[in-house]
Amino acid sequence: MRKIIVTMFMTMDGVLQAPGGADEDTSNGFGWGGWSFPYGDDMTDQKMAKIMSEPYDLLLGRRTYEIFAAYWPYHQDNPIGEMFNRIQKYVVATTPVDLSWAHSTLISEDVTEALKKLKNEDGPSLLVHGSSRLVQTLLAERLIDELHMWIHPITLGKGKQLFQEGTHPQQWKLVETVIAATGMIIASYVPDGEVQVAPIPDDDISEAEIARREKHAKE
């Protein structure tokens, strides 16, 4: 069985739109493309190298796939480019997409079942970069094995967000934290079962709290 490993660049207020460049995704008037670049350092480079150190294929949404396909085939002298060009790319898209990038496979029908089948196959891990809509599906179906959230020390107030379409309740376990000198925090999580709740013991509930609950129930 393959692991699905998600790496997500985001702001403090959850925006993940266009971290890589000014023209990456300007939909809905987004004007801060390229916001992630000032915040990397040697420590974050080491973290990315660690994530990408084991054998992997790529699992991408259409928009991210098209961004990668327009860049990496022309940078084969870069170690990342050499790897991306050589490995298998799976692209999830329900609209037409050019698959001329070598070793690309389209997933377009029965997407959820196709993703589950792909995950259950033997093979290397599946790395997901960006691909916000795909990540929404992976979260909803609980298919993510590792979630690396690269939280940048900025707020933008608008833009596509990681959890904007809702996510099924799930508990996550923090397994590693990296803090860059630039203020970026990389928090790495793995699934940790169902959400746990701890209500206030009945013998600790005051009369004021009982009154508040009764008032709230009538609203």
Query: Residue 157 — very low, low, confident or very high, per pLDDT cuts 50/70/90?
Result: very high
Given this model, what pLDDT does residue 164 score?
67
Give the range of the structural domain holding residue 31, as residue numbers without chain letter. 4-218
Q: Summarize pLDDT for 139-156 with one digit per residue, the tens.
A: 999 999 999 999 999 999
Bridge partners for 159 per DSSP: none
Of the candidate ranges 166-175, 179-188, 189-198, the one whose mean pLDDT is the lowest: 166-175
Side chain identity at 206, as an amino acid letter?
A: S
pTM: 0.90
| pLDDT at residue number 21 | 85
* H or E stretch at 66: helix 62-69
> What is the residue-averaged pLDDT of the chain?
92
Band of pLDDT at residue 25, cut at 50, 70 and 90: confident
Most confident listed range (74-78, 191-195, 203-207): 191-195
Q: Which long-range contacts (CB under 8 A, 24 or more apart) does 101-110 make?
A: 101/65, 101/68, 101/69, 101/72, 101/73, 102/73, 104/65, 104/69
Query: Strands 89-92, 56-61: parallel, antiparallel or unpaired by DSSP?
Result: parallel
Of the two residues 198 and 50, the one the predictor is more confident about is: 50
Three-state DSSP state, 158:
coil
pLDDT for the residue numbered 50: 92
Q: pLDDT digits over 79-119, tens only?
A: 899 999 999 999 999 999 999 999 999 999 999 999 999 99
If one counts the domains in the chain, the total is 1
Rounded to whole angstroms, the Cα distance separating 181 from 194 reads: 34
Q: What is the CATH number of the domain that holds 32?
A: 3.40.430.10
> Distance between CA atoms of 130 and 127, rounded to whole angstroms?
10
Q: Determine the angle formed by the axes of helices 132-140 and 111-120, rounding to 10 degrees.
A: 80
pLDDT at 24: 86
State residue 165's pLDDT score: 63
Beta-carbon contacts of 139 under 8 Å, excluding residues fewer than 6 positions away, are 167, 168, 170
